[in-house]
A = this chain, B = another copy of it.
Amino acid sequence: MAATIRDIKKVTGLSLATISKYLNGGNLLPENREKIERAIEELHYEVNEMARGLVTSQSKTVGVVVFDIANVFVCTVLQYLGDGLRAAGYAAMICDSHNDPLQEADNIRFLMGKQVDGLIVLPVAQTSDFLNPPIRAGIPVVLLDRSLGDSRVDCVKVDNQTAAAEALRLLVEYGHRRIAIIGSDTVITGKERLEGCFQLLKEMNLAVPPEYLKLGNHSIEHGYQSMWELLRLRKPPTAVFLGNFEIILGAVMAVNESEFRCPADLSIVGFDDLIVSNLSNPRLSVVVQPLRSMADETVRLLLRRIEDIRNAGSNPDAEQEPHMELSLRAQIVEGGSIAHIKCSGRAVNSN
């Protein structure tokens, strides 16, 4: 059905090699070049990447395995990843793990069968065993968002601990002492953020009373429920740290439904902000992850590895560059959701 270079050969009278050279950017006579271009136009010829891949043993394809494709954070990252990959001529085969380690491992196998040149993984598993097959097969892997402490792969993430600590520091600097935390201890990123919170509080000689500490998963429900519980406390907190986007969304809805106003009655600082802060009134003060940079770095690292492997083909005992963990700094963007506090009581200035 589709035209091949043999068809072009028939039309132009040139040889396969010449045509192939044209396709791969070689030098040839302008006259021949034109002939080929006309034939391509006529025949609607397109390179068969499968055949090309068989020869070059490169599929120009990378597998992207995500813990949950319906997650807003994931979608956004996926967009940037796709852009970067595409710009380099790579197609992304995206597989959803549904937050299930078994499906994750299966996705890896599946994609290996599809001959992906590399793998980008936003992992759900807590250990890196599931990466053995690609590593053994020599397929480069870059972990994104969540590190697994495996030195055999590269990893790009955000310094969650420091970022969370700085967010809390902000609250303390504004004078807050009764600080609540709604976070998650079910995934590594959530744990790191909690760690950062605790560390700063300790440094400041502050403590979180148990009723101010709401641990759960990264879900809207958790944020919504927990916030209501906090607001109904006899002595509610004056400020609250929200551990991720879903929690923010749920918590902000709870606040809006309540009598409490932000920041007069309750100050808020959040982690991740994909939607809410731009239109909530006042704008939220949030830790913003550099999603674009994370994606770009991930793609850059992966493509470099792929390149290296390609070159190592001719150079058998080439030195393998050591793997790295890139920890990017998140940025705090101040909105108006934190009020200044005098003593330990009411808000004084809503900034």
A327 at the interface (CB under 8 A from B): no
Which of B92, B95, B257 meets A86, CB within 8 Å? B95
> Which residues in window 77-112 of A have CB below 8 A to B?
78-79, 82-83, 86, 91-96, 109-112
Given the known inter-chain contacts A136-B44, A137-B44, A253-B256, please indicate yes or no for A111 contacting B82, CB distance below 8 A: no
Mask for A1-42, Cβ within 8 A of B = 1, else 0?
Answer: 110000000000000000000000000000000000000000
Which of B71, B75, B91, B109 meets A110, CB within 8 Å? B91
Q: Is the CB of B69 within 8 A of A79?
A: yes
Nearest-Cβ distance from residue A116 to partner chain B, whole angstroms: 9
Q: Is the CB of B220 within 8 A of A1?
A: no
> Which residues in window 290-310 of A have CB below 8 A to B?
none
Q: Is the interface of A mostly helix, strand, loop or mixed?
A: helix
Binds B, one of A144-152, A179-187, A193-201, A274-282: A274-282
Chain B residues, Cβ within 8 Å of A162? none
Mask for A36-54, Cβ within 8 A of B = 1, else 0?
Answer: 0000000010111111011
Number of interface residues of A (CB under 8 A): 58
A138 at the interface (CB under 8 A from B): yes
A166 at the interface (CB under 8 A from B): no
Q: Is the CB of A76 within 8 A of B70?
A: yes
Nearest-Cβ distance from residue A122 to partner chain B, whole angstroms: 14
Nearest-Cβ distance from residue A237 to partner chain B, whole angstroms: 21
A59 at the interface (CB under 8 A from B): yes
A-B contact pairs, 7 of them (CB 8 A): A54-B54, A70-B79, A75-B75, A82-B95, A220-B279, A221-B278, A257-B281
Which A residues contact B (CB, under 8 angstroms)? 1-2, 44, 46-51, 53-54, 59-61, 69-72, 74-76, 78-79, 82-83, 86, 91-96, 109-115, 133, 136-138, 220-221, 224, 249-250, 252-253, 256-257, 275-276, 278-281
